[in-house]
Structure 1
Amino acid sequence: MNHTTAEQVPEPTEPLKYLSKKEAAVIEKELLNEYRFGHQQLIEIWGHACAHAITKAFPLSAFSKKQPTVLVICGPEQNGSVGLVCARHLRIFEYEPTIFYPKRTQNTMYQDFTTQCEKMDIPFLSYLPTEVQLINDAYNIVIDAILGTESDHGEEQEPFTSILTTLKQVKIPMASVDVPSGWDADKANADGITPEVLISLNAPKKCAKGFSGKHFLAGRFLPYDIQKKFDLNLPEFPGTDSLVEL
């Protein structure tokens, strides 16, 4: 007797879809309202997948010291909270994260993510190191979890103008969450930062079409009906991994 699962995801025959900022927001709203995912649940899924992507792009075996140092720079909104969760999981994966979180909000859920990191003894910086300090091996990796799709360009106000100016100067490897800060989610990079790694959430955004670095997609959890409705054409995910390298 042949046994089939209730949800079978066929191998896509059409090209992977790159979402506009508006389409990405519609999918997220449907996950929250129609599929009853919790906001905290989604952030936890994304943050764990981001940490998983970092371990694939920068495996422990590639570093001379046992625990490579990771600077996670978090913005005030959702992308920043994904960065907080990513930092917590990196700590579990035996990396040594430090967080710079300059503009915190009163959102109690984001405060909970902060507390979780503090309880795991992850240090928080009160200032961003200069590009000279960053270049001089203070950190092995920088994670940009600043703006994501929450801003079209991301350079409207401090402290983010200064942060992006610094990040454009650093030479150590950088990974961005969903949309590199300073980029327009719907367009190719103009003069923003240049990460070596991009971790797209749910589905890649239009700005990522020309991305030439390592590109990971964290979208395996998406219900098949959503994949079909929005013609996402997600690739096959290997084994039991929560993400796939595009």
Structure 2
Amino acid sequence: MNRDNVYTTATIRSGELAAAEACGLDAKQLMQRAAQACVQKLQQVCPAPARILVLCGPGNNGGDAWFVARYAQQAHYQATVVAAKPKSELAKQAAAAWSEADGRVIDLAETLSVNEFDWVVDGLLGNGVSREVSGHYQRWIETLNQSAIPVLSIDIPSGLDSDSGQPQGLAVRARDTVTMIAWKPGLLTGAAADYVGRLTLADLDVGRAFEQQQSRLGHILTDNVAERLLQVTRADSAVHPSKASQQNVHKGTYGHIVIIGGGPGMAGAAILAGQAALRSGAGKVSVLCHPDSRAIIAQTQPELMVESFAEGRHRLEQATVVALGPGLGFSPENSLAQDTWRQVISHCVERNVPLVLDADGLNWLAHADHRSMSLSAHTVLTPHPAEAGRLLGCSTAAIQNDRVRAIQQLIENFSSTIVLKGAGTLVGAPQQSLWFCRRGSSALATAGTGDVLTGIIATLLVGRTPVEAAAAAVWLHARAGEIAALDGERGTIASDLLPLIRQLRNAPNY
């Protein structure tokens, strides 16, 4: 069984009972297993006889919670239930089991101090929330979020959309979330990182049957997968001496990366992209920039070959991979940047040269009539949410409200590999499942880290497919951000990632 697959909420809701039946279970038994998984998590984080408050909504998520209260009581916890009137048949059966055990029930409409408890179990809304949270649910979620009492959410924090990862007005900020059957995208991207806490998957022993019956949306980009992708090329045998089959290599073995950008006042973007390309293993890196930036870039990093675009256009003929956009400049009056952009795009399409488009490379793409142009199949676009909004003609908020749909639309519109940056970065390509990256740190939310990612992707495109290169680069970049943050998230700058990238390329488990 692959425990890293991701499925839409609709797929899980429509397929979980069929999977249970294939394993000889009915719906009630499946619910009981979900409750048992939550109690097992409680036993890890707060041993009995801790005082727990169990919040039960009217649906099946509430049914899970009723059974959690019953099993927690049997495990010698002091359980108190606050509940809405159960509406689903399963929730009614679970509530009846609690009543038969003489369990106390407080109506959801009442007010209760959560400070009397050690932990709270959230079974209010589950994955069925489809509109903004209001009423007693809103009041209870606000109460939980304002308190310091840790919360265990069943399946997904109440109020969080299980496909988009966006709160419906507000959502529970859980310490732990135990999700059932399979991963939902709303746990892995968007605002989810601020709400889900520590994630646990409980497949309830029906996961294998479920995966055999259903089509996945994507996969989690795990460390093992990323490390494998980082070592898939023949050239990498020299980077990893323990795996080397030969040492007869030269700078051409690792590719010639040509970075085009560095407009006036923006030399730093091209420098960071070039440095990242070097540190991630490129054999040779050229930077074609505005004449005003040439001396600055050359003095900062002597290993970079630096020319103006007019002088160095012939470098395109030598390029293994081109990265277009870091600091290029974008304004309707900037004819030099626009002409450069057009010439590079045409060259890469005609010669089928792998291309990374970032920053102003994306802004010019959004400005162009992309419907009348085509990009090479070896193109990678790396938009952050605002750039994605420009490419799709919508707001940044619209992108964040449904990141999965946004990347799917970008893939469809541009027939390219897409990296949709942000918390829970997504990677996708035509006719392929999505990759969800759970790695990363808020330390990456600083100027220049996107330029670093561009340089890494460009280097990893040597000998890899675009989606392999993009996925491996996203993981490498995110992991470097995590390690850099160990010295403090605040004040981390993009260049702090560079030595870490080198170490990770040589020892991915660093």
Q: 1:158 to 1:52 in 2, by over 3 A?
A: same
Any conservation in 2 of the 1:76–1:104 contact (CA below 8 Å)? Answer: yes
Q: 1:199 to 1:185 in 2, by over 3 A?
A: same
Q: Return the match for 2:148 from 171, 174, 179.
A: 171
Q: Return the match for 1:50 from 32, 38, 42.
A: 38
Distance in 2 separating the partners of 1:93 and 1:73: 18
Quick check: 1:124 aligned with 2:105? yes
Paired residue type of 1:140: D
Distance in 2 separating the partners of 1:204 and 1:38: 21
Q: 1:174 to 1:223 in 2, by over 3 A?
A: closer
Which structure's relative contact order is higher, taking Cα pairs within 8 Å and 6+ residues apart?
1
Counterpart of 2:128?
A: 150
Any conservation in 2 of the 1:154–1:181 contact (CA below 8 Å)? Answer: no
Paired residue type of 2:39: A
1:57-68 equivalences under 5 Å are 57-60=45-48, 67-68=49-50
Counterpart of 2:16?
A: 28
Distance in 2 separating the partners of 1:174 and 1:89: 18
Larger Rg: 2
Any conservation in 2 of the 1:17–1:204 contact (CA below 8 Å)? Answer: yes
* Cα deviation 1:100-138 (Å, max 9, x = unaligned): 112332x554333222212323211135445xx223xx1
Q: Secondary structure at the match of 1:159?
A: helix
* Cα deviation 1:178-237 (Å, max 9, x = unaligned): 1111111112244422100001011121111154622211114115343344477899xx
1:75: how far off? 0.4
1:96: how far off? 0.8
Q: 1:154 to 1:55 in 2, by over 3 A?
A: farther
Counterpart of 1:221?
A: 205
Q: Secondary structure at the match of 1:168?
A: helix
Going by fraction, where is helix more abundant, 1 or 2? 2
Equivalenced residue count is: 211
Distance in 2 separating the partners of 1:128 and 1:144: 16
- The TM-score, its normalising length taken from structure 1, stands at 0.75
Higher mean C-alpha displacement, 120-129 vs 177-186? 120-129
Any conservation in 2 of the 1:18–1:209 contact (CA below 8 Å)? Answer: no
Counterpart of 1:112?
A: 93
Distance in 2 separating the partners of 1:143 and 1:182: 14
Counterpart of 1:64?
A: none
Distance in 1 separating the partners of 2:148 and 2:202: 26
* Cα deviation 1:148-174 (Å, max 9, x = unaligned): 11113551x432222222222121000
Q: Return the match for 2:173 from 194, 199, 205.
A: 194
Counterpart of 1:238?
A: none
Any conservation in 2 of the 1:143–1:175 contact (CA below 8 Å)? Answer: yes
Any conservation in 2 of the 1:201–1:218 contact (CA below 8 Å)? Answer: yes
Counterpart of 2:158?
A: 181
RMSD (CA atoms): 2.6
Paired residue type of 1:125: I
* Cα deviation 1:49-90 (Å, max 9, x = unaligned): 111111112234xxxxxx211000000000000001111111
Q: Which runs of 5+ in 1 are unaligned?
A: 1-8, 61-66, 236-246
Quick check: 1:134 aligned with 2:114? yes
Distance in 2 separating the partners of 1:112 and 1:188: 30
Q: Return the match for 1:160 from 137, 144, 147.
A: 137
Paired residue type of 1:117: W
Q: Secondary structure at the match of 2:156?
A: coil
1:16: how far off? 0.9
Q: Which runs of 5+ in 2 are unaligned?
A: 223-510
Paired residue type of 1:165: E
Q: Return the match for 1:73 from 32, 55, 63.
A: 55
Sequence identity (%): 19
Distance in 2 separating the partners of 1:59 and 1:231: 39
Paired residue type of 1:121: D
Q: 1:114 to 1:89 in 2, by over 3 A?
A: same
